[in-house]
């Protein structure tokens, strides 16, 4: 009787809730909208179990696990990830995230995504990490090759003249050297109107008049939840593009007088991800249509 009593006591003192079994396959948390796009192009979207609060492409049913300012650790733990992908910039990863990853066996990978080279490198590294071999997968190879093809030099685009890239109009905000948009323009063989200064340059109207671009390319993404304007994303020219100029419409410059304005409103146009394949094609198409 005493032995039976002790067995009952010992059983009561144990943990009544068994630890959950390890996941059967990869369970990915993408704490970066750009990383989510890259994982989709790698054929891994179905393995994503947690997303960034500002995600642009994933099903809204996928739990939000935080953003760049704060990680929702309760949601993150509940997602039971095998891999957590971040885009944390120059900051150190949160110590609590590192601790949880070590305790629970999560693979942490922080993506540096500032340039086109970064996008190509990180796409390959994510692929290799998930496939488990140095060659990666056919999907990964294809994603990188499509980006290479979209960025191929097109010398004829120099015929469009000097191109001013704007990410805002009131006030005008130019995308300068060091931005992946500027890099994209150069790789395509077009001629940037701004060749010095920083990545983001706020301009006055007089600055735009002085620069006197031959073409203005507006990169103004629409809402990610809106439908595409056609079977594929495409640049807009003419009245639709001119309507988005705001106060710039009053300027007396040749680009505006002649309606040489291209609008890129792809929802993913500002993401440093493999979606830049489509953005590069749209910019090239828009400029080609303006060559005399």
- In 3D, which of 122, 79, 68, 123 has the Cα closest to residue 104? 79
- Domain identity same for 164 and 134: no
Partners of residue 31 on adjacent β-strands: 86
End of a domain among 108, 130, 149? 149
Q: What was the pLDDT predicted at 206?
A: 94
* pLDDT score of 17 more than 90: no
- Domain identity same for 215 and 273: yes
pTM: 0.86
* pLDDT score of 188 more than 70: yes
Q: What was the pLDDT predicted at 224?
A: 75
Q: What is the pLDDT of residues 251-262, one digit of tens each?
A: 989 999 999 999
Q: What is the pLDDT of residues 96-113, one digit of tens each?
A: 999 999 999 999 999 999
In terms of residue numbers, what domain contains 129? 28-149
Run of H or E including 77:
helix 73-79
End of a domain among 94, 119, 149? 149
Residue 2 lies in a domain: no
End of a domain among 102, 132, 149? 149
- Domain identity same for 144 and 160: no
Q: How many domains does the chain have?
A: 2
Q: Which residues contact 163 (CB under 8 A, 6 or more apart)?
A: 185, 190, 191, 192, 193, 213, 214, 215, 216, 217, 287
* pLDDT score of 279 more than 70: yes
Residue 225 lies in a domain: yes
């Amino acid at each position: 009787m005493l032995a039976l009593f002790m067995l009952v006591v010992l059983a009561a003192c144990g943990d009544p809730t068994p630890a959950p079994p390890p996941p059967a396959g990869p369970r990915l948390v993408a704490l970066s909208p750009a990383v989510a796009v890259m994982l989709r192009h790698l054929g891994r979207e179905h393995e994503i179990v947690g997303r960034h609060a500002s995600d642009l492409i994933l099903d809204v049913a996928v739990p939000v696990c935080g953003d760049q300012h704060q990680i929702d650790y309760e949601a993150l733990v509940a997602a039971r990830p095998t891999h957590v992908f971040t885009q944390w910039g120059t900051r150190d990863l949160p110590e609590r995230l590192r601790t949880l990853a070590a305790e629970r066996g999560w693979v942490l990978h922080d993506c540096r995504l500032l340039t086109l080279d970064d996008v190509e490198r990180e796409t390959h590294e994510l692929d290799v990490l998930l496939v488990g071999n140095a060659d990666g997968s056919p999907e990964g190879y294809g994603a990188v090759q499509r980006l290479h093809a979209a960025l191929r030099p097109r010398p004829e685009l120099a015929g469009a003249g000097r191109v001013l890239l704007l990410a805002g109009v009131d006030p005008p905000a130019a995308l300068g050297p060091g931005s992946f948009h500027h890099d994209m323009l150069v790789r395509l063989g077009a001629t940037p109107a701004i060749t010095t200064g920083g990545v983001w340059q706020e301009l006055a109207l007089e600055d735009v008049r002085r620069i006197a671009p031959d073409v203005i390319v507006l990169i103004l993404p629409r809402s990610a939840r809106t439908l595409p304007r056609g079977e594929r994303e495409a640049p807009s020219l003419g009245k639709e593009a001119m309507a988005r100029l705001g106060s710039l419409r009053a300027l007396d410059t040749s680009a505006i007088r002649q309606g040489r304005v291209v609008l890129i409103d792809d929802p993913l146009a500002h993401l440093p991800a493999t979606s830049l394949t489509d953005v590069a094609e749209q910019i090239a198409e828009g400029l080609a249509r303006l060559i005399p």
